[in-house]
């Protein structure tokens, strides 16, 4: 998941009198040192970035490491999803810290090691969900099977995020309608900022969904048609075509709200029509979307191994890595995996979110880009209440949206 070692030009020389790093046998599993290499506290103290105060607060989990190291940022984000203790990150480029160092409490040793070992330590110390270490997976029957499972997992998790954001938008509109009915037409029962936030929420969800659809249409469906049988993707392609006008109609309704006098009879009428589009009687937009996702997951995703096998037989697959296909899928969704990454992740439950983190950390080879994604997510999660992170993803997004400038 990227090299965390500082470059030779950035290494700082340690004091000639400094003792070497202490490398002792790992502690028993389940203890603070189990699975990692203990690191001398003295070595950390010698780092110019680490203050003496860092050793005093016993309840804070501390991560020391390079600001450009994806493992450091993954640790930080995983601990935020655990939401069991305050997390403090101390950037350090000192020579002893070629890898990130984790300290679970003031009573524990500092330990260093590969990402998976450190994440297992976090799970052992802070039991309960989400489990942040990658799960033990059965060995796939083939590279094609492994590649297909990664892409299928990627698609399923993207579906869950889209569903929850649509539910959140619909719930917000319904809440506004209810407030309007309670206060009466002609009363200013909503603020302009609230309508603008609603527009941003739906606009971001629409952008992610459109990128997701384009990814499927360019990367998955064409070869799926050839590997299975002609017409297997006709229905979902037709649904993609039907959904775009529906999505644009909702977007236009929200734009119209922004031009009307807040709380006016016409404003209320447009708001009610918008609520009907999203969650009214008839066939709801949410139901259309969920039905579409269900069809893809039940009928198309199980065929992906057959597709990958065909691609290999045709010589289309040059990379032997099982993650190459998922990497390509992520790469085609540039906006989702850059400026909208925190938004996308707030549509996932904590366990789903750490699964998606594991996928992107395995599939994105550009270390700088990966660090940028993880940093943006960490900064947003740090603004959130831990109970919101655990209980309601869309409430988390709404909470962060209100706090945005």
Sequence-separated (6 or more) residues with CB below 8 Å from residue 315 = none
C-beta atoms surrounding 209 within 10 Å: 22
Sequence-separated (6 or more) residues with CB below 8 Å from residue 57 = 86, 88, 106
**Tell me: the pLDDT tens digits for 116-149?**
999 999 999 988 889 999 988 788 788 889 999 9
- For residue 135, the model assigns a pLDDT of 86
Please give the mean pLDDT across all residues of the chain: 80
Segment 371-391 shows an average pLDDT of 83
User: CA–CA separation, 367 vs 348, rounded Å?
Assistant: 24
Task: Examine the pLDDT at 165 and tell me if it is beyond 80.
Answer: yes
User: CA–CA separation, 292 vs 66, rounded Å?
Assistant: 43
**Tell me: the pLDDT tens digits for 222-242?**
988 888 777 888 888 888 888
Instruction: Pull the structure tokens for residue 97.
Output: 């810290």
pTM of structure:
0.84
**Tell me: the pLDDT tens digits for 266-302?**
998 999 999 888 875 445 667 778 888 999 999 999 9
User: CA–CA separation, 114 vs 283, rounded Å?
Assistant: 50
- For residue 129, the model assigns a pLDDT of 81
Comparison of pLDDT for 52 and 333, the residue scoring more: 333
Task: Give the side-chain half-sphere CA count within 13 A for 341.
Answer: 23
Lowest-pLDDT range of 37-51, 78-92, 111-125, 224-238: 37-51
Share of residues in the chain with pLDDT > 70 (%): 77
- The backbone torsions φ and ψ at residue 320, rounded to the nearest 5 degrees and listed phi first, read -80, -10
Give 33's pLDDT tier (boundaries 50, 70, 90).
very low
């Amino acid at each position: 998941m990227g090299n965390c070692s500082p470059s030779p030009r950035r290494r700082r020389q340690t004091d000639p009198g400094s003792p070497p790093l202490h490398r002792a046998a790992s502690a028993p599993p389940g203890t603070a040192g189990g699975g990692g290499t203990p690191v001398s506290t003295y070595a950390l103290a010698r780092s110019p970035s680490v203050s003496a105060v860092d050793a005093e607060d016993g309840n804070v989990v501390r991560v020391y490491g390079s600001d450009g190291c994806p493992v450091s940022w993954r640790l930080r984000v995983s601990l935020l999803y655990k939401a069991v203790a305050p997390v403090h990150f101390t950037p350090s480029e000192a020579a002893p810290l070629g890898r990130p160092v984790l300290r679970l409490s003031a009573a524990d040793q500092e330990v260093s090691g590969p990402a998976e070992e450190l994440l297992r330590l976090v799970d052992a110390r802070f039991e309960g969900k989400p489990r942040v270490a990658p799960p033990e997976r059965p060995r796939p029957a083939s590279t094609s099977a492994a590649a297909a499972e990664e892409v299928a997992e990627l698609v399923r998790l993207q579906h869950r995020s889209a569903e929850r954001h649509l539910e959140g938008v619909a719930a917000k509109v319904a809440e506004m309608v209810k407030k309007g009915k309670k206060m009466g037409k002609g009363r200013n029962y909503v603020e302009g900022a609230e309508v603008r936030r609603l527009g941003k929420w739906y606009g971001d969800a629409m952008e992610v969904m459109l990128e997701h659809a384009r990814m499927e249409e360019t990367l998955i469906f064409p070869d799926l048609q050839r590997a299975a049988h002609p017409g297997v993707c006709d229905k979902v392609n037709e649904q993609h075509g039907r959904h775009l006008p529906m999505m644009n109609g909702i977007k236009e309704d929200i734009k119209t709200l922004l031009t009307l006098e807040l709380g006016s009879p016409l404003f209320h009428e447009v708001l009610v029509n918008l609520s009907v589009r999203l969650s009214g009687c008839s066939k709801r937009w949410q139901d259309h979307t969920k039905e579409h996702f269900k069809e893809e997951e039940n009928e198309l995703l199980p065929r992906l191994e057959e597709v990958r096998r065909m691609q290999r037989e045709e010589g289309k697959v040059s990379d032997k890595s099982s993650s190459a296909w998922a990497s390509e899928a992520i790469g085609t969704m540039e906006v989702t995996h850059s400026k909208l990454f925190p938004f996308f992740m707030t549509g996932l439950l904590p366990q789903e979110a750490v699964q998606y983190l594991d996928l992107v950390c395995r599939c994105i080879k550009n270390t700088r880009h990966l660090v940028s994604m993880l940093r943006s997510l960490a900064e947003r999660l740090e603004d959130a209440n831990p109970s919101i992170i655990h209980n309601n993803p869309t409430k988390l997004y709404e909470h962060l949206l209100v706090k945005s400038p």
